[in-house]
Amino acid sequence: MKTNALIVVAFFALGLIRLALAVEVMGSSALSSFPNPPANHVIAYGEEDLQFGELRLPSGQGPFPVIVLIHGGCWLSAYDIAHIRKLAAAFAGEGIATWTVEYRRVGDPGGGWPGTFDDVDAGADHLVTLAGQFDLDLNHVIVAGHSAGGHLAIWLANRPSQWPAELEPTAVLALAPAADLAWLHKEQVCGSVIDKLMGGSPEQYPQRYKAASGTRRLPLQIPQYIVIGQYDENWAGVGHMYVEQARQQGNSPHVIIAKESGHFEMIDPDSTTWPLVLDAAREALGLD
């Protein structure tokens, strides 16, 4: 706990330094101006309205490596798949297919525990069906996500249920992961969203938090690539906390500090952070 507290203090100080230097970072309002490039295919993986995914395929001939991509947005229904479409399309433009999973969130019927996790679980497994229809390489698959989606990607990488035999991801790529649910509950992030996501506090539902929190799923058995924005004053601290706990559990995550990024630059392919994200994805997929 002392180490975690020191990390938080350090990133509070970093926020003050950023303000003093007047470093501009992208805010959430910029996401509304992101383009919405269409997917090649929009495919349901369940019967509920939000149980669908978007498949984007590179040009040319496969089989294509695949990223199972999970958007963030504080686990809230207000933030949907739209804001990560630009990133998904950019990966496809670089020869990497993307299967972007939409899921029920807090505020949606059936969202929160366990529906949010059930959806991500089922959406990822549906990739096996897609591989039978499209030219996808299930030997080169990673799970990736941003912010709340970064938490879900880490959870998915070591989820309580088993991966299908045909589908075992080679790595996880977590961009600014919000992975420690108990700490985020204590900090009352996003309007105390963790209470709504989990149905209550860690004291009320310890088994839920054990099953759902990224830090409680450690150690992971696959490589981890963690991208943290140097100027992400609200979320970098919890990202570094996750890395520290992963190391304590015997993992050796690859940590990429994006030196020109806040929270959102890393999902913008027009930013200077994009090459770092792309390189991490390619290495995680075993393409380099």
Residue range 152-205, pLDDT digits in tens: 999 999 998 889 989 999 999 999 999 999 999 999 999 999 999 999 999 999
Predicted local confidence at residue 233, as pLDDT: 86
The residue with greater pLDDT, 194 or 31, is 194
Alpha-carbon span 228 to 255, nearest angstrom: 8
Q: Quick one: how many helices (H) and strands (E) in the chain?
A: 10, 8
Share of the chain above pLDDT 70, in %: 92
Return the residue matching tokens 């998904």.
88
Question: How far apart (Å, rounded) are the C-alpha atoms in residues 149 and 101?
Answer: 10
φ/ψ of residue 99, rounded to 5? -115, 100
Average pLDDT across the chain, whole number = 92
Quick check: 64 and 57 in contact, CB under 8 A?
Answer: yes
pLDDT at 161: 85
Q: Tokens 């919000």 map to which residue? A: 178
Higher pLDDT, 119 or 19: 119
| Token duo for residue 237 | 């601290």
Distance (Å, rounded) from C-alpha 258 to C-alpha 36? 25
The CB-based long-range contact list for 4-11 (8 Å cut-off, 24+ gap) reads 4/183, 4/241, 4/244, 7/237, 7/240, 7/241, 7/244, 8/237, 8/241, 10/237, 11/233, 11/236, 11/237, 11/240
Question: Picking from 12-21, 93-102, 113-122, which range would have the lowest pLDDT averaged per residue?
Answer: 12-21
pLDDT of residue 162: 87
Q: Contact at 8 Å (CB) between 104 and 137?
A: no
pTM exceeds 0.85 for this model:
yes
Q: What is the CATH number of the domain that holds 115?
A: 3.40.50.1820
User: 């080169």: which residue's tokens?
Assistant: 140
For residue 76, list its beta bridge partners. Answer: 106
Is residue 245 within 8 A of residue 180, CB to CB? The reply is: yes
Where in the sequence is the domain holding 71, given as residue range(s)? 2-285
106 has pLDDT over 50: yes
Into how many domains does the chain fold? 1
pLDDT at 8: 45
Asked whether the beta carbons of 167 and 141 are under 8 A apart, the reply is: yes
